[in-house]
Structure 1
Amino acid sequence: MRERLVTISDLVANSIELATRAFNESDVALAETVIAEDDRIDELVLSLDELAINILARQQPVARDLRIVVSALRISASLERMGDMSSHIAQLARYRYPDKVVPKGLRSTFAEMGRLDVGMARKLTELLRTEDLDLAEEIRNDDDDIDDLHLKVFDKVLGETWKGAAVDTVDATLASRYHERFADHAVSIAKKVQYLATGDWVVPAS
């Protein structure tokens, strides 16, 4: 099951990397690739879920084995949503092609959000492979940076100096939300891996 999760996570990492490139470079061919590959991620998630259900029904696992199966079901759901976020980002690039999705003043912000999302996805794959909990902490820190950039986008589009058209405002808001949600799912998975490795649930700081 861990091997299957790693495979899916690696596909998600590739997906967000291509999606952010398509978004930032207005590359419709890359966008189409991401959208098409989302079906593959969905198929693998469904297959893993079916395996988990069969194990629960036939083997009645306990202790760590049970944690693995239950965690895998929850992790696969988050990975599927991360794939969806990548696809949504790619769809924005396709819809606005040949134009850029967001105005020039926000492009560096979205380039940084994309870089962070890709880095988090790569760290997540390695975390699933190794259970190196230092990576889980790095993912949480990266998410804080994503949240800061997300707020920066909203401050920009709601500010008095914003000159973008209505469609620019909608696109920037949606794109920022997709990047932010991608990162949130990565953090959610990191917490589940921490639980899997230690048996203790990580409670967010208030």
Structure 2
Amino acid sequence: MRINVLQHTPNEGPGAIQTWSQQHHHDLYVYHPAQFGVLPTAAETDLLIVLGGPMSPNDDLPWIAAERQLIANLLAQQRPIFGACFGAQQIAKVLGAPVTTATAKEVGWAPVYRQTDVLPDLPATLTALHWHGEMFGLPEGAQLLFTSDLVHNQGFIYHQNVVGLQFHFEPLPDNLREIVINDAAYTAGSALNQTPQAILDHGVPPENKAVMHQILDFITTH
């Protein structure tokens, strides 16, 4: 399987998605469309991963529009897609849902609550890394997958082959350090009231990697 990863900022890489790819002996290609303007074609994409970033899907940038066209092409072909944060917002926007300022800025660790059993055996509550100030509306035809205490739409599943999460399950411990040391200023104004050091000290819950792998297993076998 060829996995094409769209990475939008240097400090938010594939993390546990890469370990899943390695365990299954897949070929993983990482694109940086915000820096280089290069995207894969739908024909060469077996699984698309759309990662987070500081930009908004509402920004009028050619590469953002081109990325959504790629997502639309893959949706039409029923290929598996996973999106985190900005990536989930991009998928939601392709599916006709709005992306707006979040009801609360969430930066740090906070629980998310499973809302459906369509993706089986997920824990009822997980602690996820949040790093966002915008949110997506629930796309028509999608099922709400997770909520949080501050932002209702935290995750969705669409046609069993597409999952979008407003938060992050993909970071491993090294990724967490990279995110925080480079973007510590973004914690200011967060409703979660966590300092960069507190976020680092919390660490990555070990179950998050397993759940990330579980989601990828599900969308690539349905």
What interval of TM-score do these two structures reach, taking the shorter chain for normalisation? under 0.3
TM-score (norm 1): 0.26
Structure with the higher strand share, 1 or 2:
2
Larger Rg: 1
TM-score (norm 2): 0.25
